[in-house]
Amino acid sequence: MRLIVGLGNPGEKYAATRHNVGFHWLCRLAEQLRITFKSEVKFHGLCANVMQDDEQLWLLKPQTYMNASGMAVAALSRFYKISPDQLLVVHDELDLPPGTVKLKLGGGTGGHNGLKDIISRLATKDFWRLRIGIGHPGNKNEVVDYVLHSPRKEEALLIDDAIQRSLIVWPLIASGDYSAAMHKLHTK
């Protein structure tokens, strides 16, 4: 793994929304790694990096808004020649209930505009995703409003638990032991 991208929208207005769980996860990882983010204009985002196993690991929070997340991902990955299979995108997932977290390689977008833009700009679906469940409002016409609002207290606790559990398996993901990471995440 050479690039970890947390998806979200920049600014205080969106900070606590369901759509920003990717940002939350990445901030917690940065704390764990004891690194800080700084603005990188050429990569359209906030970046942090650290050496792990003789490789530079980049953390990226795109500042382009969700629908244009691929601009930042493509800029950084092309500059450092990071292939899609070395990329992990952490994002909110409507199709999973709060408290659920799943790791997978490739797949569709589930209507997620951030993933759509990344796939479009990288011209591939074959990158790793860490999907953090936020639940679904039950009506597709309510999705935009739902993701752009804060979760209820009980949902927030479940989401925080999912983030914590996934950070525990981070060493397995970082080392490329995806099978073991998936087993730990997907087994209760």
Q: What amino acid positions are annotated as catalytic residues?
A: 19
Contact 114/120 with Cβ under 8 angstroms? no
Q: Of 85, 86, 83, 59, nearest to 72 (Cα)?
A: 59
Q: How many angstroms separate the Cα of 63 from the Cα of each of 1, 22, 95, 114, 180?
A: 22, 13, 25, 12, 32
Q: Residue 15's CB: how many other CB atoms inside 10 A?
A: 13
Q: Of 139, 120, 119, 121, nearest to 129 (Cα)?
A: 119
Contact 174/52 with Cβ under 8 angstroms? yes
- Whole-angstrom distance, CA of residue 137 vs CA of residue 130: 21
What values do phi and psi take at 150, rounded to 5?
Answer: -70, 145
- Whole-angstrom distance, CA of residue 188 vs CA of residue 170: 17
